[in-house]
Structure 1
Amino acid sequence: MTGLAAASARAGRALHSPPEDLTQVQLVWVEKQVEHWIRFGREVRQQVVDRRRRILSFAPGATFALVRWAANERGTVLSRLDILRAVAPGEACQTLPTVTPGGDILLRVDGWPKVERMLQLIDAIEAASIDPVEVAPDHWRHVHNRLAAGETPRGYTMQRHRASLLARRIGA
């Protein structure tokens, strides 16, 4: 089966997968109190719970960015951005609030200055005509490690992206 055919088959299975095979993310939006949103990712299902909550489901292997923000009467109490890879049933994962069963955390930043920096880095990747969903997981880990060390991460160029896609195609 060619790479494209295999990807199509996986996508078709994901659309018809039972919910227990999917990673579910509960998003909450209570204006100026709690705001959760997906910055990028391709969900395969969406369930609207009520006007403030919905649940998005991601197929195993899908990469997505979850932003969580919360405030009280004194101001912001939580600003966090996580880039996750949805896991397959039985696969080891890290737990996260609002994510069931959890995911492979590729990147995590806390605090609005770091979250804002990450949003700018994601914008830069999109400005280079690269879908952040397709970015190599190792790049997100690199960015996480560099930011944690107070260093500037390498940019994700089209050349790096092509190399990542070729490596995926040959199974490296």
Structure 2
Amino acid sequence: MTRSPQSTARGNLTVVELIWIEKRIEHRIRFGRPAHETILDKRRRVIGFAPGSVFAFVRWAANDFGTIVSRIDIVRAVLPAEPYQTLPYVRPGGEILLKIAGWDKVERVLQLIDAIEAIGLDPADSAPDYWRQTHNRLVAGETPCAYSLEQHRAFLLRKRATS
């Protein structure tokens, strides 16, 4: 299956390779709005995000002894001329807002995403600064703050004022 809105040129998309091999590897999107999707086979898909889109990319892998990789990256897709950071399975890369490894911290980020959805917001629409702050707090061993409706309203007003 391939879907692509005509208004988005594929060349401007940030492309993410997704993989699922039961009990071994899982690369999935936790939130975000893909602008394009290509299913390669029953275990692999490629999706693309329009510039400015924010998405969460979860990677997990295990071997016979248990989990060996557990990480989540929250990324903003960039325009072709913008600088970006590279990330495995993401081409060309993106602006990394949050980069967390280790199941305890990944689980905490997933809980924060669930909490944003619980207040009626799509995490893809939340303030990029929130994800940066969450990253910094988790890396420092601190507790991240919950995202609030007031914080979201302030973000939208700031965004409107700079547009």
Q: Any gaps of 5 or more consecutive residues in structure 2?
A: none
> Residue 47 of structure 2 corresponds to which residue in structure 1?
56
Tell me by how many angstroms 1:19 deviates.
Answer: 1.6
Q: Is it true that 1:22 corresponds to 2:1 in the alignment? A: no
Output the CA distance in 2 between the equivalents of 1:95 and 1:141. 17
Match of 1:42, SS state, is coil
Q: Is it true that 1:168 corresponds to 2:159 in the alignment? A: yes
Write 1 or 2 for the structure with the bigger share of helix.
Answer: 1
Q: Supply the RMSD in Å over aligned alpha carbons.
A: 1.1
Output the CA distance in 1 between the equivalents of 2:125 and 2:92. 22
Letter in 2 for 1:45: H
> Residue 119 of structure 1 corresponds to which residue in structure 2?
110
CA offsets 1:42-101 (integer angstroms, 9 cap, x no match): 001100011110011000000000000001112111000000000100211111111000
Q: Any gaps of 5 or more consecutive residues in structure 1?
A: 1-13
Instruction: Point out 4+ residue stretches in structure 1 off by more than 6 angstroms.
Output: none
> Residue 124 of structure 2 corresponds to which residue in structure 1?
133
Output the CA distance in 1 between the equivalents of 2:8 and 2:153. 30
Match of 1:159, SS state, is helix
Match of 1:147, SS state, is helix
Output the CA distance in 1 between the equivalents of 2:47 and 2:145. 31
> Residue 22 of structure 2 corresponds to which residue in structure 1?
31
Q: Tell me which of 82, 94, 97 is aligned to 1:103.
A: 94
Match of 1:60, SS state, is coil
> Residue 144 of structure 1 corresponds to which residue in structure 2?
135
Output the CA distance in 1 between the equivalents of 2:116 and 2:147. 7
With normalisation by structure 2, the TM-score equals 0.94
Letter in 2 for 1:155: A
Output the CA distance in 2 between the equivalents of 1:122 and 1:99. 21
Contact 2:8–2:35 (8 Å) recurs in 1: no
Contact 1:15–1:44 (8 Å) recurs in 2: no
Output the CA distance in 1 between the equivalents of 2:121 and 2:9. 30
Tell me by how many angstroms 1:15 deviates.
Answer: 4.3
Output the CA distance in 2 between the equivalents of 1:15 and 1:160. 34
With normalisation by structure 1, the TM-score equals 0.89
Letter in 2 for 1:154: C
